[in-house]
Amino acid sequence: MTTEIRTFLQVEQSASRRRWVHALDLRAEATASRIAQLHAIPEMVARVLAARDVDAEGAARFLDPTLRDLMPDPSTLTDMDRAAERIADAIARREKVAIFGDYDVDGAASAALLARYLRHFGLTPAIRIPDRMTEGYGPNPRAMLDLMEDGATLVVTVDCGTGSFEALEAVAARQIDLVVLDHHQTGGLLPPAHSIVNPNRQDDLSGQGHLCAAGVVFVTLAAVSRVLRQRGYANATLPPLIDDLDLVALATVCDVVPLQGFNRALVVKGLLTMRHLHKPGLKALAEVARLSGPIDTFHLGFLLGPRINAGGRIGESNLGTRLLLTSDDLEAKELAEQLNLLNAERQAMERVMLDEAEAEIRTEIGSGDGPPVLIAARANWHPGIVGLLAARLKERFSRPAFAISFDATGRGTGSGRSIPGFDIGRFVRRAVEAGVLVKGGGHAMAAGLTIERERLGDFRALAEEQAKRIVPNLMAGEVIAIDAAMSASAFTPDTYSLVEKAGPYGAGHAAPIFALPRHRLVQASHVATGGHIRLALKSADGAQVSAIAFRAEGTPLGEALIASRDRVIHAAGTLAMDRYGGREKVTLRVVDIAIPKD
C-alpha cells in the first residue's frame, strides 16, 4: 500500500508559499475506515483521528482519556521519592515553606497549585515571583537569601531552578533544603539541591519530558499524597487534586506542550473543572475577557493566558499567581481588571515593536531569501515582550526568530521561537557553551537568552552556521495538511460538534484544517485593531460563511486576501464557534488561500 504524499486541490504553492497535501495517505484512509467501523463513530471524526496517528485499537481511549490509565507512576521520575518525602516532612512538621516561581502562566499556575496544596494543611507558604526587568528568569542569590532570612526551612522552585547554579549554591551554603520542580532542558551538570525533579534531566528515564511545570507539580503532589497516606493520613484529609486540574490544563495549553498521552488527559479533565469556574480569579478573568460558551483550549491560549502573562511582562510579576490563589471575589475582580488593562497596553506596545522589527528584517532580507535564523535587536524594546515579538516574526517569515532588547549597559535580554525541526533550545545551549551568550536555555520550540551587545555579530554568525543546512530545507518542505474539503453550507453546529469530538486541540494534536474549494471571496476588510482581516466566502450554491484571518495584515496571506476580493479562491482553515449575542454561528479561521489553477 502506498504512502505517497498527495497534493490537495492541485495547490503546489499557496499564498503563503506552501503546498497543500492530503492529511491522510492511503494507509491512514484505511485506518479511518477501520476506526469508524470498529467504534461506530462518524467518518469525519475517524478521519481526524487517523490523520493524527491514532490507530483503531487506541481510538476509544483517545476519545475518552482517563488519568487512571495514563498517569505515570510518580516514582519513575528521578528524585521524585526524595522530593515527595521532603515535602511531606514539611507538612507534618508544619515548616515554613517558600515557593519560588516564574512569571509566565506555567510558573503562576505551578506556584498556585503547590500553595493551594500546602494551605490545605494550614501552612502559609511565602511565594516569590521574580521581577522580569530587575531580576530576570529563575532564582537569584538575593531572592534566595531573602526567603531564608524570612525563616524558610524548605524552598521549592517551580518552573525554574535546574540551571540556577549560583542561586542554588547560596541556598546550599546555608544548609537549607531546596527542591526543584522543573521541566526545562538541561545539560549533564546539575546544581546542588536536596532533589531535582525534572523529566528533561539527562538521567531521567520516565519518558515524561512532554510535561509542563504544572504537570510536574501535579505528579509530585500525587506522590506527596501517597506518602502521607502511607504515614496514616486518611484520604478524606488530603486535598482533592482533581479540583485543581483547571490550573494544570491552563498551564499545559499556554506552555504549548504536546496534547498527547497524559497531557491530553490533564487538559480534557481540566477543562471540565475549568467550566465550573469555581475559582474566583478564573471566573473574574473570564468575565473581563468577555468569554462566552464552554471554555476550550482556544480560550485558555488566546484569552485567559495572555492576560495572566501580561502581569509578568509589563506589570507586577506576582499578579497572575495572586489571581489564581485568591478566594475573595472583590480582590479577584480588581486583579482581573488590572491584568486586562495591562494586556491592552501590552498589545499596543507589541504592535509598535513588530512594525520596527519587520522593517529591520525586511531590510536585511532584501530581495533574497535572507538568513535562516532571524535576529532582531533594539535598545528601546520592552524586554517583557520580546518573546511575543519573536513568535510574530517566526509566524510571518516561517523560520526561527530571535528578538533582543538591550539595556543602557549593553546587556541584552532575548527570546527565540522556532519551527518544527530546528531545536532552538539546543542551539542556545551551544551558544552558551561557545561563550557567545552569557546564559540561556529553553525547549525545542522556545528559548531565552542573555547576551552582551559586542557578541551580537558572533551570535548571528553562529546562527547562520548552525542553521544554514537545516532551516532552508524545512522552509522549502513546508506543507499544509488538509483533513477534508467542505462547502459553506456544511458550516453547521452539528458539523462543529462532530469535529470537537476528536478535540481538544493544541500543540501535538492540531485542529483539523478544512479546505473550501472554489468559493468566492465576497468580503475582505481590515479589523481596526490586531492586524486581523475579516472575510466572507460564498459557495456556488449561494451559501455563505464568515471567516477571519488572524494577524494577517502585512503578510503574504493578508496581501493575497485583499487582492482577491470578489475572486474565486480555495480557502483553508479551522472551524470555530461564534456565540456572540447568544447565537451560535460556525465560522472559519483562515490559515491560507490559493488561486484555483483553472
Can you list the residues of the chain whose pLDDT is less than 50? 1-2
Q: 13 in helix, strand or coil?
A: coil
Query: Are the beta carbons of 14 and 592 closer than 8 angstroms?
Result: yes
Whole-prediction pTM = 0.91
Which CATH fold would you assign to the domain 369-476? Answer: Diaminopimelate Epimerase; Chain A, domain 1 (3.10.310)
Domain with CATH 2.40.50.460 in the chain: 19-23+483-594
φ and ψ of 449, to 5 deg:
-155, 160
Amino acid 355 reads D
Rounded to an integer, what distance in angstroms lies between the CA atom of residue 225 and that of residue 208? 20
For residue 525, the cross-strand partners are 534
Query: Are the beta carbons of 515 and 536 closer than 8 angstroms?
Result: no
pLDDT at 396: 87
Q: Does residue 420 have a cis peptide bond before it, meaning omega lies within 30 degrees of 0? A: no
Rounded to an integer, what distance in angstroms lies between the CA atom of residue 350 and that of residue 5? 39
pLDDT at 475: 86
Rounded to an integer, what distance in angstroms lies between the CA atom of residue 362 and that of residue 339? 33
Amino acid 148 reads M
Q: Where are the alpha helices (DSSP H) in 150-289?
A: 165-173, 213-230, 245-254, 261-274, 280-288
pLDDT at 1: 41
User: Which residues contact residue 321 at a Cβ distance below 8 angstroms, ignoring those fewer than 6 apart?
Assistant: 101, 107, 108, 111, 112, 115, 127, 129
φ and ψ of 389, to 5 deg:
-65, -45
pLDDT at 163: 87
C-alpha grid cell for residue 569? Answer: 479562491
pLDDT at 2: 45
pLDDT at 3: 56
Rounded to an integer, what distance in angstroms lies between the CA atom of residue 201 and that of residue 274? 31
Q: 533 in helix, strand or coil?
A: strand
Query: Are the beta carbons of 14 and 20 closer than 8 angstroms?
Result: yes
Rounded to an integer, what distance in angstroms lies between the CA atom of residue 192 and that of residue 173? 10
pLDDT at 5: 80
Instruction: Kindly state the DSSP code that residue 300 receives in the 8-state scheme.
Output: I
Rounded to an integer, what distance in angstroms lies between the CA atom of residue 123 and that of residue 429? 38
Domain with CATH 3.10.310.30 in the chain: 369-476
Query: Are the beta carbons of 403 and 382 closer than 8 angstroms?
Result: no
C-alpha grid cell for residue 346? Answer: 501590552
3-state helix, strand, coil in the chain (%, to 5): 45, 20, 35
In CATH, 70-242 is 3.90.1640.30? yes
Which CATH fold would you assign to the domain 19-23+483-594? Answer: OB fold (Dihydrolipoamide Acetyltransferase, E2P) (2.40.50)
Domain with CATH 3.90.1640.30 in the chain: 70-242
